[in-house]
Amino acid sequence: IAAARPAAATSPSEVTARVKAQDTVPQLLMSPPDYFEVAYAINPWMKPEQWSLDAKRLSRDALAGWNALRARYESLGAHVSVKPAVKGLPDLVFTANCAVVLDGKAVMARYLNAERAGEEAHGQRMFEQLKARGDIDAILHTPEGVYFEGAGDAIYDAGRKLMWMGYGQRSSRFAHHTIEQAFGIPTFSLELVDPHYYHLDTAFCLLSGGDVVYHPAAFTEEGRAQIRAIVGDKLIEAPQEDAENLGVNSVCFGADVVLCHCSDALRATLEARGYRVHVVPLGSFNRSGGAAYCLTLRLDNLYKGRTRGGE
C-alpha cells in the first residue's frame, strides 16, 4: 500500500491522527423519504415520466436506501437527527441544501427553482427551534435575488480554513459575500459548467485528511487550475464511472467515506490514502440527481464552543 501512495498525499497515519483529534461525534441531519419522488425536472437526472412507470418500487427502494445510509452512519458512530418529511416537498429529503452551518451560525438556503422554494420555511422553522434552545446564535440569509443552496454549494474546509463554493447552476456567485461576512473566513468560488453537476457537491468531495475527489469536467479550465494549485497532491480525479454514478457525492468523517458507488480504481486510491470505503446504493435518489452527501447535512459545527478546533 505504502509504495502505491504518492509522496505528499495524505498518509494513513495522518488520517488516524485526525480521527483521534476528533473528540466530537459527527452530528448529521437527515429527512426521511416519506414523500420523496421525481415529480418535476430541475436537473438532467430527473425524469418524472420514468419514475411514474415504476413509482411504487422506486419509493420502496428509496426508503431502503435511506434506512441503510442512516444505519451506516450510526454504525460508524455518528448521531443522526431527523427533520420530518413534508407532503408536496419531495426534495426536502436532500437536507444538505437547507443551510450551511458553522460556528453557531446557519446561512439558510434561497432556492433558485420555485419547486424547492417551499422548503425554505421548513428549514427556517427548524433552525429557529435550535436557536430558541440555544444551540445556535444566528440565522442568516443571502440578500433577496442571491440564490444559495446550502451545503450543496458551500463546503467548509477546516484544514485550509476556507469555504469552497459552487455557482453558475443554482447558487449565485454573490452568495460568497454572505458566507464571508457570516463566518469571517475566505471563500473560494468555482463555476459549475455542466448541468449534470449542478451543485458543487456532485463534483467535489472534501475528505477529512484534506484530500479532494473531483470530476474535472464539471469545472472551467481556470477552475481546474485553481483547484490543482490549492489542493496539490491531495487531489484525486474521480474515474468517469464514479462521477456518472454520483459517487463523488459522498460523506467523510474520520477515516470513513460513505458513497453510493465506488469503482475498483477509486477504492484502491482511497484505501492507499488510509480511508475505509463504505458503499450504500442509493439508486432511487440518483434518479433525482442526489446521493449520500445531498441526503446529509453536517451539524457538527452548529453547537457553540465546538468550533474551529481539532482539524
Q: φ and ψ at 14, to 5 degrees? A: -65, -40
- Let me know: does 288 contact 51? Beta carbons within 8 Å: no
CA–CA gap between residue 247 and residue 241 (Å, rounded): 8
Residue 260 annotated among the catalytic residues of the structure: no
The C-alpha cell 416537498 sits at 89
Closest separation between CB of residue 36 and ligand ARG, Å? 10
Contacts of ligand ARG in 42-61 (CB under 6 A): 42-43, 46
Any contact of residue 83 with ligand ARG (CB under 6 A)?
no
> Quick one: which segment of 20-28, 39-47, 208-216, 263-271 binds ligand ARG (CB under 6 A)?
39-47
From the CB of 305, what's the least distance to ligand ARG, in Å? 28
**Amino acid (one-letter) located at 254:** G
Measured CA angle at 274 (ends 269, 280), to 5 deg: 70
CB 306 within 8 A of CB 105: no
Ramachandran class of 281: left when φ > 0, alpha when ψ lies in -120 to 50, beta otherwise: beta
262 counts as catalytic? no
C-alpha cell at 184: 469571517
Cβ 61 to ligand ARG shortest distance, Å: 16
Contacts (CB under 6 A) with ligand ARG, residues 203-262: none
Would you count residue 288 as binding ligand ARG (CB under 6 A)? yes
Could you please report the per-residue DSSP string of 5-54? S-TTSPPHHHHHHHHHH--S--EEEE---TT----S-SSTT--HHHHHHT
- Among 61, 103, 119, 201, which residue interacts with ligand ARG (rule: CB under 6 A)? 201
Rounded to a whole number of angstroms, the minimum distance from the CB of residue 11 to ligand ARG is: 30
Which residue in the set 199, 261, 273, 287 belongs to the binding site for ligand ARG (CB under 6 A)?
199
Binder to ligand ARG among 94, 127, 164, 167 (CB under 6 A)? 94
Quote the CA–CA distance of 30 and 85 in Å, as a whole number: 10
Span near ligand ARG by CB under 6 A; candidates 98-106, 237-245, 263-271, 289-297:
289-297
Residue from 98, 176, 196, 199 carrying the catalytic annotation:
199
Q: How far is the CB of 64 from ligand ARG (least distance, A)?
A: 19
- Considering only residues 143 to 182 of the shown chain, the ones binding ligand ARG according to CB under 6 A are 152
What would the x/- binding string for ligand ARG be over residues 95 to 134, using CB under 6 A?
A: -xx------------------x------------------
289 binds ligand ARG (CB under 6 A): yes
| β-bridge pairing 27-30 and 79-82 | parallel
The secondary element (H helix, E strand) that includes residue 155 is strand 154-157
What is the enclosing helix (H) or strand (E) of 178? helix 175-183
Q: Which is nearer to ligand ARG, 214 or 272 (CB)?
A: 214
Which CB sits closer to ligand ARG, 274 or 290?
A: 290
Q: With respect to ligand ARG, which residue has the nearer C-beta, 97 or 245?
A: 97
Compute the least distance from the CB of residue 81 to ligand ARG, in Å.
18
Residue 47 is placed in which grid cell? 425524469
Catalytic residues: 199, 294
Write out the residues near ligand ARG by the rule CB under 6 A. Answer: 42-43, 46, 91, 94, 96-97, 116, 152, 199, 201-202, 288-290, 294
